[in-house]
Amino acid sequence: MSKPDYLLFDRNTKAIFWNLNRNAIQRMLDYDYVVGREPSIVAIVAPTQSRKFEKFFYGINEIMIPIYRSTTDAAKDFPEADVLINFASFRTAYDVTVEALDIPTIRTIAITAEGIPERFARLMRIKARELGKWIIGPATVGGIAPGAFRIANTGGTIENIINSKLHRPGSVGLVTRSGGLFNELSNVIARNANGIAEGIAIGGDRYPGSDFLDHMLRFEKNPQVKMMVMLGEVGGELEYRVAEAIKDGKITKPVIAWCIGTISKYFGGEVQFGHAGAKAGAERETADAKNAALAEAGAYVPKSFNDLPELINGVYEELHSRGEIPDIKEPEVPPVPEDYDKARKAGKVRRPTNFICTISDDRGEEATYCGVPISEVVEKGYSIADVIGLLWFKKKFPQWASNFIDMVIKVVADHGPAVSGAHNTKVTARAGKDLMSSIVTGILTIGPRFGGAIDGAAKYFKMAKEKGMDPVEFVDYMKKVEKIPIPGIGHRIKSVKNPDKRVELLKNYAKENFPKTELLDYALEVEKVTTSKKENLILNVDGTIGVLLVDMFRELGYSDSEIDELINAGAFNAFFVLGRTIGFIGHYLDEKRLDMPLYRHPFDDILYDVKRPEGA
Amino acid sequence: MAQRGIREYDGKRILAQNWEEYFNGEFEYDFKSILITPETDLDKIPEQYPWVKETPLVAKPDMLFGKRGKLGLIFFKKEKPGDVTWEDVKEWIKQKMAEEVEINGVKGHLTHFLVEPFVPHKPEDEYYVAITTGEDEDIIYMSAFGGIDIEENWDKVVEVKVPITASDEEIKKLIEENVPAEIKDKEKFADFVYRLYKLFRDLHFSYLEINPLVIVGNKIYPLDFVGRVDDTAQFVAGRKWGDLEFPAGFGRDLTPEEKYIKEMDEKSGASLKLTILNPEGRIWTLVAGGGASVVYADTVADLGYVEELSNYGEYSGNPSRTETREYVKTVFDLMTRGKHPKGHKVLIIGGAIANFTDVAKTFEGIIDAMKEYADKLREIGVKIYVRRGGPNYEIGLKKIKEAAEELGLPIEVYGPETHMTEIVRKAIKEIEEKEKAA
């Protein structure tokens, strides 16, 4: 804070950055690295961010910059920061500025937003003036103090910064209106003089927080500045203040000035040239009138923009030859490590990936399901089963398969509140838990004993048929070798005489619509054997679904081993999980509606058989 | 864009819609105004506004230009003031819409009209009030001598500077102390101006003028209203503005090409501007960036060739490849409609050193258009000059050079080592040489 008044920025300047704009912040830190100073941004203000800090690069290393909810809080922790880079939108930039003006430790505020209402712009600059503070902008890229501090994006890419010698101080003070030509002028000055000492773009608005003259008076006091360049514009009267100051001897250093928009005299009010602020209301506000006044006051004014470089060079050479401008020893510039993303795009680096995805893609204009844009899925009337086809199996199911999947999901969606999954869901919901916890308890119940028969039926029937076991042989094998009941066979109440209507529907559908139903036919032969032993040992709904899924995949072109892979991966079970989740959600919502109290199992439903261990 | 003129109709509508809040109980305003546009079905008006059949009317264009009385464009009498009926107004508007008129040296068509009841009043009831914005203060102008001759009577206008940080009490006091002596009911007038000023402030007006302002008892008749608002305040005052459009001022009708680019600009997040200055000119420009585009136009004029400058325009804000291509094609289409009798035309593809715009990418759209128009460009004889800097400019310049050469189009390309407008000088030299040779 020991810097002289005429300097807004030096190599120790610390700034608070309002808005988590990663690009702009990184660019400032890259600049800091290149000019060999420590990171200039000490805190970020982002009221809607929940994070406490953000990581950035400083050279090849990463640093953490804390994030605050308000500028006041950030300033409390970092009283050494006297600059606020206000990157808020036009809606909030005014409020942010007003808050910052009230913070004693903040002296300079740079405002980027375009479109701040003029009344707000006028109010905030009055306040800044009363407090003796500086506002740069609004509607500007900001400015730069070469070798010391860069405001946000000023100067463009690092390559351009070095080409235009914005990484080390020169001897020219530069003021422009908008940022668009700031780079161009920095480049001209680097080529025709020795670069700029400090440059400010005051912004294109009608009421800039600080104007040409304010900064040029600082430049006048700054011994590093030996000459000044001002790029004015048609419209407004700010340039006259500079002319007056030159006349009055308040500015004694050479000033090279040019106001753009000389063209407007030829087309009057008919054509709007440049931005809206650049409209001459009166003869006095034309570029020609201002150029003439500046020349009369003693500024160097070229005949046209095209002659500007020559004029700058002339003034520079004269000062240089008189020894007023010393030679500059060019500093070493460390290269900024290239960003991985950029280098990859340019084909300069490569890296093996950690993940692969073959089913969906969210990188383009619109996310796709296996290459099909979601909008097309909707427009073409894809069913849920078709979406399952795309995302689970990377297939466009034929209509017969789609309809079958649709039936399967409908059939397995629920089986009443008593089955263990639904029961768990209800008990958990009654314990006051949320949707996810409740349905997850239901889903976690799904396994070999609950809902697992689809997988099991598919697996064993398929194996038996492949091995060429006849039905009797298979029934025997299950009993003697596997020592388990055949999965998919048997029902609590349904029997041959009282068939399960769901099974009938599935069978009939498959018979009518599947190209072939080989495994179903085999299973039905097995059923004949089992029902001959006991009436209710029918092929149940799980068994039917299991064998029909095998038939379906076979007709979709899957080989036997591919189908085994699907079963082992749980793909068959997945149909049950998906379908039954519909039911679990139903039970959960039902409980929420009913608002039943916490469930406690009755004592008389539990056999208590608790014995004290020996020796205890 | 900031300060934008609004229609008289909208100004009065905004007054009426916010009357309750700002003038509650103290003043009355019977808002009766109809905006007629080319889309209006004139035959349906009497149904919607039965009063048009019951009262004499006034009609005038509502297109942001002033001095309508002096231009003879206020229709309030056939033989004597107040004898204009709805049928008369209908005929008058139809006739005015059909004919081309010249306003302040600009020719064009009248499209929007305001129709209101004729308010008979005495000239001594015509007051004047205007509010404008200064640097650190707003300025209120008040006079007891309003009306068409306000400028001749400017010495009788009182000017009050109100600091923009002034409190309500301070504002009130400043106005009360400065009400012109000639105003009959000074207290009432001051109260009205105070309330109007509050509305001016809250609704982010940057200019407001009511002239003449007729006050009869508590009744306010703003016979003419001129307003500008700060359009950037939409997010603050938009609700109070209501459905407000910002029309372009009266001017030359847009050419189809200008219209096409304007429509594209409105739909795009990027900025695309095109104005045809002289379709017969030899110097055509395709310039990136608002500031740079002004500098290029300046330089053509400063070097003495303004009459050859065909177009003014710019593209910026990262337009897509398609947008750039369409923009460039529009310019190519215009410039290849005919050979120039004095020889070659030149095309200036210019721009400053871009901050972050990928130059190589933006040039792709230009190259696309060049390919489509190569035959025509060769046929009429066009030399291309390119100057640009910024990210990937080397690749961009190389690509455009190769493309042009492949297509048989003469081209010179320059980067940031060459001064931005140097290509203007080179292009003009080319024109001069070709002219000599021809």
User: What is the model's pLDDT at position A173?
Assistant: 98
Is the confidence at residue A1, as pLDDT, over 90? no
Neighbours of B295 (CB within 10 A): 32
Q: Which of residues 225-284 of A touch B (CB under 8 A)?
A: 233-234, 260-263, 266-267, 269-278
Is the confidence at residue B1, as pLDDT, over 70? no
Secondary element (H or E) of residue B412:
strand B411-414
Interface-testing mutation among A91, A116, A119, A202, with chain B (most B C-beta atoms within 10 A): A119
User: What is the model's pLDDT at position B170?
Assistant: 97
**Which chain A residues contact residue B293 at CB under 8 A?**
273-274
Sheet of strand A255-260: strand arrangement? A149-150, A143-145, A196-201, A172-176, A227-233, A255-260
The tokens for B397 are: 């310049």
Is the confidence at residue B418, as pLDDT, over 50? yes
Q: Which of A283-287, A351-355, B332-336, B422-426 has the lowest mean pLDDT?
A: A283-287
CB B189, CB B113: distance < 8 Å: no
The tokens for B434 are: 């070709």
pLDDT digits (tens, 9 = 90+) for A102-114: 999 999 999 999 9
Half-sphere exposure of A209 (CA within 13 A, CB side): 34
**Which chain B residues contact residue A302 at CB under 8 A?**
none
B391/A164 CB distance under 8 A: no
> Mean pLDDT over residues B369-392, rounded?
95
What span, in angstroms and rounded, lies between the C-alpha atoms of A319 and B4?
Answer: 47
The ipTM of this complex is 0.92
Closest-approach residue (CA) in chain B for A186: B353
Q: Is the CB of residue A482 less than 8 Å away from at least one CB of chain B?
A: no
Burial class, A223, CB count within 10 angstroms (exposed 0-12 / middle 13-18 / buried 19+): exposed
User: What is the model's pLDDT at position A273?
Assistant: 64
Closest-approach residue (CA) in chain B for A118: B230
B353/A116 CB distance under 8 A: no
**Three-state secondary structure along A63-130?**
EEEEEECCHHHHHHHCCCEEEEEECCCCCCHHHHHHHHHCCCCCCEEEECCCCCCHHHHHHHHHHHHH
What span, in angstroms and rounded, lies between the C-alpha atoms of B289 and A568?
Answer: 62
What span, in angstroms and rounded, lies between the C-alpha atoms of A319 and A18?
Answer: 41
pLDDT digits (tens, 9 = 90+) for B193-243: 999 999 999 999 999 999 999 999 899 999 999 999 999 999 999 999 999
Alpha carbon of A361 to those of A364, A365, A379, A517, A531: distances in Å? Answer: 7, 10, 19, 35, 50
Q: Is the CB of residue A131 less than 8 Å away from at least one CB of chain B?
A: no
Q: Which one, of B342, B415, B335, lies nearest residue B382 by Cα?
A: B335
**Which chain A residues contact residue B425 at CB under 8 A?**
306
User: What is the model's pLDDT at position B251?
Assistant: 76
pLDDT digits (tens, 9 = 90+) for A518-530: 999 999 999 999 9
Q: Is the CB of residue B156 less than 8 Å away from at least one CB of chain A?
A: no
Q: Is the CB of residue B407 less than 8 Å away from at least one CB of chain A?
A: no
In this complex, the residue of A116, A155, A266 whose CB is nearest that of residue B306 is: A266
Q: Write down the mean pLDDT value for chain B.
A: 93
Burial class, B349, CB count within 10 angstroms (exposed 0-12 / middle 13-18 / buried 19+): buried
Closest-approach residue (CA) in chain A for B418: A188
> Mean pLDDT over residues A43-61, rounded?
96
B355/A157 CB distance under 8 A: yes
**Which chain A residues contact residue B290 at CB under 8 A?**
178, 180, 274-275
| Distance from the B61 Cα atom to the nearest Cα atom in chain A, whole angstroms | 19
Is the confidence at residue A276, as pLDDT, over 50? no
CB A448, CB A488: distance < 8 Å: no
Distance, CA of A235 to chain centre: 40
> Mean pLDDT over residues B373-380, rounded?
96
> Mean pLDDT over residues B416-423, rounded?
96
> Mean pLDDT over residues B347-354, rounded?
95
Q: Is the CB of residue A287 less than 8 Å away from at least one CB of chain B?
A: yes
Which residues of A have a catalytic role annotated?
275
Is the confidence at residue A313, as pLDDT, over 50? yes
Residue A222: strand, helix, or coil: coil
Query: Percent of chain B scored above 70 by pLDDT?
Result: 100
Closest-approach residue (CA) in chain A for B205: A119
User: What is the model's pLDDT at position A264?
Assistant: 86
Token pair 């004898």 is at which residue?
A: B83
pTM, entire model: 0.84
Query: Percent of chain B scored above 90 by pLDDT?
Result: 81
| Distance from the B80 Cα atom to the nearest Cα atom in chain A, whole angstroms | 37
Q: Is the CB of residue B102 less than 8 Å away from at least one CB of chain A?
A: no
Closest-approach residue (CA) in chain B for A187: B416
A287/B298 CB distance under 8 A: yes
Q: How confident is the model at residue A420 (pLDDT cuts 50, 70, 90)?
A: very high
Q: Which of residues 18-77 of B touch A (CB under 8 A)?
A: none
Is the confidence at residue A274, as pLDDT, over 90? no
**Which chain A residues contact residue B316 at CB under 8 A?**
180
B297/A263 CB distance under 8 A: yes
In this complex, the residue of B294, B353, B421 whose CB is nearest that of residue A274 is: B294
User: What is the model's pLDDT at position B215?
Assistant: 93
User: What is the model's pLDDT at position A2?
Assistant: 73
Closest-approach residue (CA) in chain B for A155: B355
Q: Is the CB of residue B149 less than 8 Å away from at least one CB of chain A?
A: no
pLDDT digits (tens, 9 = 90+) for A204-258: 889 999 999 999 999 999 999 999 999 999 988 999 999 999 999 999 999 999 9
Q: Write down the mean pLDDT value for chain A.
A: 94
pLDDT digits (tens, 9 = 90+) for A63-82: 999 999 999 999 999 999 99
B294/A277 CB distance under 8 A: no
User: What is the model's pLDDT at position A272?
Assistant: 63
Q: Is the CB of residue A305 less than 8 Å away from at least one CB of chain B?
A: yes
Q: How confident is the model at residue B108 (pLDDT cuts 50, 70, 90)?
A: confident
A261/B298 CB distance under 8 A: yes
Nearest-10 crossing angle of helices A118-131, A93-101 = 10
Q: Is the CB of residue A183 less than 8 Å away from at least one CB of chain B?
A: yes
Neighbours of A39 (CB within 10 A): 16
Neighbours of A283 (CB within 10 A): 9
